[in-house]
Each structure stands twice: as C-alpha cells, then as structure tokens.
Structure 1
C-alpha cells in the first residue's frame, strides 16, 4: 500500500481507567488533549519536537512512543516506512494515571491511518488490537479511540470494546499530585490472587457502575467501591488514597485514576454551577494544595481525531 498523504495532524484525549471496580476493563475519555503533527520525510531522519508535558524528558528519536506506534500502524497496513518529523503538543500529564502512554500509542496509530492511501486498513477495531498489543491492556486505549466511557474485554489478538452511556450530570474532576508513579510500580504491588468474596463483590460493583454512569448517577458512590486493586496500592500512593478516603467520607465518588497517583472524582453537576465534589476537595486540602492541581474536565465524547491530512 502506498502513502496517500505526507502530513497529518491528530488529536487524542486523556483517559482514566478502572473507575474503581472496573479494573483493566472500564475507561473514560476526558477533555484534555494532546496534539501531534506528523510529516513524512524524504530522508531517513527522525526528529521529534515536544512542547508541554514531557518536554526534555521523553525520547526525541525512534524510541518515542508515537513513532513506535506509527511504525506499527504502517507495517500493519503494508505501507512504506519513511523518515519522520513529529511536533507533539502535550497537555496530558505523564506518569499520573491519565493515559499519557495510551494517548501516544493511539495518536501514532491514528497518524498512520491518516498517512496511508486506504485508511480503512486501520479501522477502530484494528487500532484497538494494535494499541492493546503495544500497551498490554485495552482500558485506556478503548476510550482514547472511541471517546466517552467504554467497556473493553478480551486479550491480545481478540480484544473488543463497546461504548457506554454517560449521564449528562456526571462531571469528572481530576486531582493531580506533583509526584509521578509508573504503571509498572503500581502493578508490582498487586497480589497474584484475591479472596473470592472480594472478587464477587467487585463483579457486582462493576455491573452497578455501568448503570450508575449511564442512568443513575446518584448510585456512583456505591458503584465505585473497589476491593481488587486500590487498597493494595496504598503503600506506593498513600497521599492519593488518603484523599480518596476523605472524599468518599464526604459522599463523593472518588477513585484512583488508572494506576495513579491522580485521583478522579466522578462528581455530579450542580444547578448553580460547579460540582458536588468542590467543597469536599477544598476541605480535604484546607487551603494548602502542596503542588496538587484540581482540574474539572468534561467527558470527551469524541475519541482520537484526524484533524488534517494532506500532501505538502
């Protein structure tokens, strides 16, 4: 297959995975986006310019995750490889459980779709399968591709995902700490087995969460009870779990976002503006934020988007 364009620009949202009990399955796209511009070069050079999050920290050559994913997409489509110039405008914080690596992978795969002459070769289903292969699990990749809330299942080579309804009163708020935590470290403290009673409770709460997200947001506090992963991670993110405890005690459906250490509040919109989490978050910090940031973020109902593709 030949290339149909030599320039493409894509936009991809942040995501929050798990949402409490939906470990490695549920995810939510958030209106905080990375923008990536790609130009195919006639030379074999690879140049990556990064502004915003990760600038000066991420690789600026073939090792860059967007480049690796783009190459995987071109290979899958049978398209020729080329030199590349990438300009990445990053807004998604790195290492904080907001899907920055999934965003990079999905951005690279979508860029490949925008470059090839037959974009249908890289359908959403193909993007999800390739992203899962690169990421290891689909919980962030699915909402990054499809937007909104998603439920993903299956393993490498057979992964699938479906969109879920999100009630208009659901108003996500993320509370981002100044510290980072790798997914590897967060997964490293999880036990190989859990008690049968915990697993049974988790299944019920995950099922309830689908109903609460879509139709009954007043049930979100009960629906976000987790027994599978958050408590085991307290040792590597004690401040995040302390904040989750404080918010839940105040009636706010708070969870660890993905592998953390960001905290996600699945708050409810108030008629006069703001959310039911605002006062509880303010009270938890007592006016001393200590480097934490509070970001109210709308649900991103659209997933990754090819903003423009053209020949130079």
Structure 2
C-alpha cells in the first residue's frame, strides 16, 4: 500500500507486457485482429516527482513522447478518471520491441499497457469488458486493442446499442507469420484518410464472403483457402497511393510459398501466413523490398494465444 497526497494506491510498482497485433488480415477491416509473439514490456513506478516521466529503450525511443502526453500515461489517466481516482505521478520504463507506425499495433499496446497498469496500481480485479470499452474509446476501433488484450485471433463488432461483442477464433498451432517491415512509417490516421466514404455492393460482398472463408479456414486449419481468404477490396487498394510497392511485396511472398499475404493493419508492414517455407518467403520478401528500395527487413514470428498480462 502506497500513500501519496492523501490518496492510497495499493501497488507502487507494476510490470505489464503487451503483444504486437496485426489487424484486418485482409478482408476483416476494423473487426479482426490477431496477437503476435512480439512484446513490449512496461514498468510503472509511483514517484514523488512533480511530473510524469517515460523512459524508452528500443523501438520509438527517439520519436515517442516522454512526458504526460505519452499514450501510456494518457490511457492510465483515463482509467483513474473513470473511477474518480487522483492520478499519481508515474515513472514508466518501456522496453519496446514493437515497431512504431508500421501496422503492428504499437499504439494499441501502449493503450492496453496504460489501462492494465492503472488497474494493477489500484489493485482492482481486471474487468476485461471495461478495459476493452475504454481502449476502444481511445483508439477509435477495437480490432487491435481486443487482440492485444485477450491474445489469439479476435473478431470484435459494435452492436446496435454501442456494446462491443468479441469472439475468439481458433488459430492453427503450426501457423507462422513472416512480416516484411518497410523502413518508412505510415500513420493510421493518414492511411485511414485515404479510404473511400462509401463502397460498392460488389466490394462489400467480396469482403464479407472472404471474411467468412478466412474464419472457417483458421478454425479448420484448411490452409489452402488462405490465398483467397486473405484478399481485400475495401482498404488495400486505396492505401497503395502511399505504398506503391505493396502488391509487389505481397506477390513475392506468394511466389515464395506463403499461404496468403496482405497488408498488416494500416501498413506498411506486409503479413504473410506460412506453414513451412519461412526462410524462402523471408528471402523473397526481403529481396522484393530491396529492389523497391523500401529499406526494410523481414522477420519470422507466430500468433500469440496470450494477451497482455502482468509479469
């Protein structure tokens, strides 16, 4: 128990880890996310200082905010405010392994870390529905935050009453992910502004049918369906305006033996599902990126069935 300025906090120091996420996975625009086995580690310490401070090592250390406007602190404050608790001053140490603004859920990891850090500082039981609600309010869409919070592959929708409904989708144990991560960033807001306000019935049906096929392919481990199931007509075409090599990198993954490939989230990372041939797919994506002068790299990861947690 720790007392500061008349407010009692149960925990002075808390450590939270949060996975990277890939969203959309082709046709599941704004409703499908998957946790990846890449992690950010965040330590919260209550201090007697007058200002919040964030110390960052790893990804984003030179570009992320390090004061009270940091997204982790802002998210923690949202939780404190929800319960009308005066926020303590925090020293936050971040070990970041999730690339920033690359379509791998770095902002969602910060939001979930901040909310769960606040939960544990207060020694509250975790109300997952509340955490998802608050995270969605901060992020504006729930696909990444749901996957970061729960782990696994999550389908999440907003019902007609404003409530979030989420379902876990089975992930084959032998599914792997090759990620080509370009050397340039793509802000989610910028990428979202490229999208059309309306879509044709044909494109809507195209995505609805492939989303159903994708969910069934994952549930049944029917890998041969993924090449079609990961296709999209709603967002990837528009985003080629700022990532003109997208189709070439996706094709290179398929030529190398990937099961399916797509833009990860808002991009610019390209996600390729594999079941073997990871070395070949990695080589082909890296080679395509080099020829396009994208200054990126390809790494092999895997889905994570584990979500954010204290460690």
Give the TM-score taking structure 1 as reference length.
0.91
- In structure 1, the partner of 2:216 is 211
Equivalents in 2 of 1:285, 1:93: separation in Å?
A: 17
SS of the aligned residue for 1:163 comes to strand
- In structure 2, the partner of 1:269 is 276
Q: Is the 8 A contact 2:282 2:298 kept in 1?
A: no
- In structure 1, the partner of 2:250 is 244
Q: Deviations over 1:164-200 (max 9, x none)?
A: 1001221111100000111111111111111101101
Q: Is the 8 A contact 1:3 1:79 kept in 2?
A: no
Deviation at 1:275?
Answer: 6.2
Q: Is the 8 A contact 2:257 2:274 kept in 1?
A: no
Gaps of 5+ in 1: 308-312
Equivalents in 2 of 1:47, 1:286: separation in Å?
A: 38
Deviation at 1:3?
Answer: 2.1
Give the TM-score taking structure 2 as reference length.
0.91
Shift of the 276–218 alpha-carbon distance from structure 1 to 2, 3 Å rule, reads farther
- Stretches (4+) displaced over 4 A: 285-290
- In structure 1, the partner of 2:177 is 172
- In structure 1, the partner of 2:261 is 254
Q: Is the 8 A contact 1:21 1:205 kept in 2?
A: yes
Equivalents in 1 of 2:14, 2:231: separation in Å?
A: 42
The match for 1:57 among 63, 83, 86 is: 63
Q: How does 1:1-312 map to 2 (within 5 A)?
A: 2-117=8-123, 119-120=124-125, 122-154=126-158, 157-215=162-220, 216-248=222-254, 252=258, 253-269=260-276, 274=278, 277-278=281-282, 280-281=284-285, 284=288, 291-307=295-311
Equivalents in 1 of 2:256, 2:200: separation in Å?
A: 28
Deviation at 1:79?
Answer: 3.0
SS of the aligned residue for 2:143 comes to coil
Equivalents in 1 of 2:165, 2:50: separation in Å?
A: 35
State which drifts further: 9-18 or 181-190. Answer: 181-190
Equivalents in 1 of 2:309, 2:23: separation in Å?
A: 20
SS of the aligned residue for 2:101 comes to coil
Equivalents in 2 of 1:231, 1:53: separation in Å?
A: 28
Q: Is the 8 A contact 1:129 1:157 kept in 2?
A: no
Q: Is the 8 A contact 1:125 1:160 kept in 2?
A: no
Number of positions where the alignment pairs a residue of Structure 1 with one of Structure 2: 302
Deviation at 1:269?
Answer: 3.1
Gaps of 5+ in 2: 1-6
**RMSD of aligned residue pairs (Cα, Å):** 2.1
Q: Is the 8 A contact 2:158 2:165 kept in 1?
A: yes
Deviation at 1:233?
Answer: 1.0
Deviation at 1:291?
Answer: 2.3
Q: Is the 8 A contact 1:241 1:256 kept in 2?
A: no
Shift of the 180–279 alpha-carbon distance from structure 1 to 2, 3 Å rule, reads closer
